[in-house]
Structure 1
Amino acid sequence: MAATRIVTSVLPMEETHGSTVLETDGLTKRFGDRTAVARLDLQVPARSAFGLLGPNGAGKTTLIRMVLGLTRPTSGTVRLLGLTMPEGRASALAGVGAIVEEPRFHLHLTGRENLMVAAAVRDASAPGRVVPLLERVGLTARADDRVSDYSLGMRQRLGIARCLLSDPRLLILDEPMNGLDPAGILEMRHLIRSLVDEGRTVMVSSHLLDEVEKTCDTVAILDRGRLIAEGPVAQIARDGGRQVLIVCDDPGRAVTVLRRHVVDARTVPGEEYLLKVTPAPGVTVAEVNRSMVEAGIAVERLEPVRATLEDRFLEITSRLEAK
């Protein structure tokens, strides 16, 4: 199935030194008979929050490893910050900060000490960034505590601070919200948006659809190693079509009555009188209502539903599984 691609310009070429920070062409990775990533053509716009979305096992981490040169592709090419990989790996990675899976630290050292160790192998100005970065990620009060006493959310924030030591143009964060409580997720979302506001690009891989929708400007959806949709979050969500929630006295019979007027109609699990429908193109909500009333179905309420990324994701992946 061809991926849905919506082309969007984020910033003028002269402001970004290139409208994309990452491009892949036919990128493929096989492990024996298993294809983890299949012929992936991907473009990550500069100065944006880009979501790499997919269920566990979709190929997100494998893709990130290939982008960073940690895993060699079976075929295809990667251009990172305008440089072809792996030939330009050293120069490209100088402008990239990345967390692949859970960030690792010296647990017996404090947060400040961990950053100072990391800064020592970077440019001469890096040590001077440690204190501002601890404040930036909200760890000033805990900077001199051992990392072994940090929560998962604190370690994630310390990992981002470490990434920022080199003042990167691109940050790649693999499942940064995984395991966080609601407060930690909110903090991470605000931090990512603030980084984008500074002019950086943040690429976030996640299986948390709701958080990707709230955090990212553009998204690519992977399923079983394939790119199945790519573009602005709002546009991809709208591509799922209009949806209407209906409260009526007989949703089961309503599904049968509405077959000619909708492209999808289903009862909502656990809700005895609730029905969700997607009207066919050109069919109005008034026509849906009239058909039900004429069939003797008592309609209590019709309510338009805002299209969500989660709905679109489930629609696409369910369709693929049915093939």
Structure 2
Amino acid sequence: MTEVPVLITGESGTGKELAARLLHDMSSRRAHNFLKVICPAIPQQLFESEFFGHEPGAFTGAKESRAGKCEQADKGTLFLDEIGELDLALQPKLLHALQDFRVARLGAVNERAIDIRLICATNRDIEAEVAKGAFRKDLFYRINVLRIQMPSLRERPSDVPILMNHFIQLYAGKFGGSPAPLSASLMKLLEEYQWPGNIRELENIAKRYVVLGTEEHILSLVRQPGELRPEVPDIIDLTTPLRVQTKQAVRHLEKKIILGVLEAHKWNRRKTARSLDISYRTLLYKIKEAGLPASHLANSHWTNLPFHDRH
């Protein structure tokens, strides 16, 4: 397979990183590193150190030699995610390194040759960014040798059943249990859904189905797009600051989620912690902080109380 630079475009959640990893795994570099860098996550003042490395004394706190991302990816693949959001002031520095694939660590005199396969991804309209001067034209031409456009999930509804069944089996294996197959009517509804979050949203819904075990939880999400929207209180408080009301709403929502997952796992707290991807100690703290019962034995009394008496 050719190893020219690749630019992967598409909406968030369409699987751009997965495509990049497949390109790496199919190449002759698959035995070496696949190094992912989220471009906007690197502060401007640390860009050169992070990308190109540094030598001792290059700046305050630099006590030893350190290879940058480019050297770490040597002989492998460097994946620059969200490159469309890279600060304009940093783009010439990246372009210089990509022109001849040589980098100089901060504080070093000599340059080092690097051998990398470059793959970039963005969810932005990169040509529009170039047109308005937010992205350098010469850098765009450097990275846009081969273009892969990832279609949104709503453009390929026939993939929905395949992906949904895949993720249900995947998380059933991780969390334990054997959820029932989705009904044909629900699957048809999922195929007609617009999927604003694309595959990432579908994966989260499949995970929730495995954990909670009923189709009603899926129906509530696809009929009201969005992740478990906070409930609007019946009575609007005109005297309490927004930040306080928001904090209360978030706590209430977190309590509902924890309670739902606990009930789905029959109050097995270790399984619940794994499902929520938090530590067991964190779950115990949150149960106590939310005023939830310590076990299902106390649950029937708690759920029969009015909401204001549960705190």
**TM-score normalised over the length of structure 1:** 0.30
More strand by proportion, 1 or 2? 1
Higher relative contact order (CA 8 A, sep 6+): 1
Bigger radius of gyration among the two:
2
